[in-house]
Chains A and B, each alone.
Chain A
Amino acid sequence: MGTYSIEVRDLVKFHGSTRALDHCSFSVKHGEFFSLVGPSGSGKTSTLRLLAGFEYPDHGEILIEGRSMNRTPPHHRPVNLVFQNYALFPHLTVFKNVSFGLEMRHVAPGEITSRVAAALAMVRLQGKETRVPSQLSGGEQQRVALARALVNRPAVVLLDEPLGALDQQLRQEMQVELKTIQEQAGLTFMCVTHHQEEALTMSDRLAVMNRGRILQIGSPREIYESPISTFVATFIGQSNQMAGRVEAVSAATCRIQVSGLPSILARSTGALTIGDSVTLIVRPERIELSRESLHAGYDNAIPARIEKVIYNGSENQYWFRLTDHIVWKAHELNARPDRKGFVPGESILVRWHAVDGIVLTE
């Protein structure tokens, strides 16, 4: 047994004539919480179905626990899937739903009872054994679906949009709980989601997918702080963008020229040469708005005018105009409610550090 629960090499899958998966490769380590995140049609669900065994790849290889699974049907794979709409058996009780996999593998009845009890305890559903799914709330059904997979102690628990059907409040609670359960159970989780915040919150590592390709794999911090493409930068988190040209490059920073603005200092990625067309990305929460007219230690300070203000409780969100063509936004934590906020039409100074300016060449 190697260090990987899942190894996917050069996977290709066609749906009709469209290429659902285009030479995808990634590995998931033991005990890792790994997420595939991307918009609908990005190929993440196809990948999950190939791992579960409902479909077979057209090219490439799937290894689970080091064993090739390319043509292994689902019931012979050491993985269990938590379905998007849970797919609980409506005619069976909670207990029978959870014990289904163990019964199919002819586990001794005494062991079934204790393992089901342990799994239900883990998802905090004790006392609901004799209910049927229609008597449970959405959140409870979600837990049963999870317990039904956990109880088998599979090599990998696959989760398809696990929190997609829950309301916002419950969703955020469950993100933390899912991660806790995964750590307690010590199992490998692979989750598919279109919800970028969910992927960042729960995952040890994530892969960002679009149009059948994996664009970037890394920890949440790596993906958020150092996206390698504008797609990743805009899909994961919010971002401001502007197009420019490289004016000067040094080891740590580079200087970007943007028409209508003073030169902008940004983080250098190393592969830049003078004259390159680039996209500059700055996260809204890294931008500071000020009524002062000083640099005050910031590398960039540009005058702007407030266009629009949104107050959402935890944050003040400001849209401001830098040039005729560029409107950016800044998120300011609402930590000092007594402070007077900016108002539309107000002239301000927009400031940020060079390290917060991400430069992308694509």
Chain B
Amino acid sequence: MPPSSPNSTDRRHLFSWPLVPAVLWMGAFFALPLLVVLAISFASRGPYGGVEWTFSLTNYALIADPLYLKIYGRSLWLAAATTAICLLIGYPLAYYIARAPKQWQAIWLLIVIIPFWTNFLVRTYAWMFILRAEGVLNTVLLKTGLIHASIDILYTDMAVLIGLVYGYLPFMVLPLYAAIERLNPSLVEAAWDLYADGWSVLWRVIFPLTKTGVAAGCLLVFIPSVGAYITPDLLGGARTMMAGNLIQHEYLVIRDWPFGSAISFVLMAVVLLGVMLYFKAGGALDVEEERR
């Protein structure tokens, strides 16, 4: 193994033995299949569902259909709302955990991660039991007299939103925790000492200095939310299709692989564009955090 040091030249950084397994893995199982999908997206569907290798842009043109645009729109909207709600819930939670005594931090983080120990599908089914017309939520609300007729939550955008927030909240909390935990507490005290009230301390000091964590958390929630499949399928039903369901539908039900591939690629492009805009807007401004 060649010696590597932080002073290695740029050229030597390009190749490194430890990278080989990752490159092989990602190349064989990610990059290559992706290229195949890209190729298929320019082909067309055969009469019985196969792929006919005739180059055309029809699949991409088809996406402009209002029906599909609506599904895209819903995906982006739900993902954005999920991200926003996760941030609103996750930031105070992460702040609380990061400022708790050290031995408590580990316990709180464990509690945040524990849901991962149960299968995601099982947890989503549990939400169906909670949200359906005669489910736990409605029963409780009816019994306590808060409502007089059961409300329909299951198979609505609301149900999908609840499911997505539930599923992806830990992805928001963990990077935020890491960022806030690194924040030098005396910076907060300094702001407080310099006449800043709680709100100003948050907006002028804490939030700007944990922006990298916010950016990471938002990306980790937004990207999987846009492509979510199980949650909208189980909690949203047929009425609230998201892009993930549409792709599944095209591949497996309609058996139009070329169109499914095109949808996949446009989705990737949209997410990539969003991420780039976000970074450009300063979302990932490099902040040199001074540690005690």
Contacts and interface: CB of A to CB of B under 8 A. Distances in A.
Interface of A: 52-54, 73-76, 79-81, 83-85, 87-91, 100-101, 104-105, 132-134, 148, 152
Contacts of B288: 90, 132, 134
B290 A75 contact: no
Contacts of A84: 186
A87 B196 contact: no
Contacts of A148: 194
Given A54-B192, A75-B192, A148-B194, 5 more contacts: A53-B193, A75-B194, A76-B195, A81-B190, A105-B195
Contacts of A104: 194-197, 200
Contact of A75 (B186, B197, B287, B292): B197
B205 interface: yes
A54 B189 contact: yes
Contacts of A105: 195
Interface centre among A53, A83, A134 (most CB of B within 10 A): A83
Nearest to A81: B193
21 contacts: A54-B193, A75-B192, A75-B196, A76-B195, A81-B190, A85-B184, A85-B292, A87-B184, A87-B186, A87-B187, A88-B190, A90-B209, A91-B287, A100-B191, A101-B195, A104-B194, A133-B290, A134-B288, A148-B194, A152-B194, A152-B195
A101 B190 CA distance: 10
B196 A80 contact: no
Interface centre among A81, A83, A91 (most CB of B within 10 A): A91
B195 A134 contact: no
Contacts of B189: 52, 54, 74, 81, 83, 87
Interface centre among B196, B209, B289 (most CB of A within 10 A): B196
Nearest to B194: A101
B208 to A, nearest CB: 5
A74 B192 contact: yes
Contacts of B191: 89, 100
A89 B289 CA distance: 9
Interface string B198-218: 001000110011000000000
A89 B187 contact: yes
Chain B interface bracket (under 10, 10 to 19, 20 to 34, 35 or more)? 20 to 34
Closest CB pairs A-B (n = 8): A101-B194, A104-B195, A87-B190, A87-B186, A74-B192, A75-B195, A134-B288, A74-B193
B190 A90 contact: no
Given A90-B287, A91-B209, A91-B287, A100 B186 contact: no
B137 to A, nearest CB: 41
Nearest to A134: B288
A88 B288 CA distance: 12
A89 B195 contact: no
A329 B184 CA distance: 45
A100 B205 CA distance: 11
Contacts of A134: 288, 290
B249 to A, nearest CB: 46
Contacts of B292: 85
Nearest to B287: A91
Interface in B170-200: 184, 186-187, 189-197, 200
A60 B275 CA distance: 56
Contacts of A79: 193
Contacts of A100: 191, 194, 196, 204
Contacts of B200: 104
A101 B189 CA distance: 13
B186 to A, nearest CB: 4
Contacts of B196: 75, 100, 104
Given A85-B186, A89-B187, A90-B288, A80 B209 contact: no
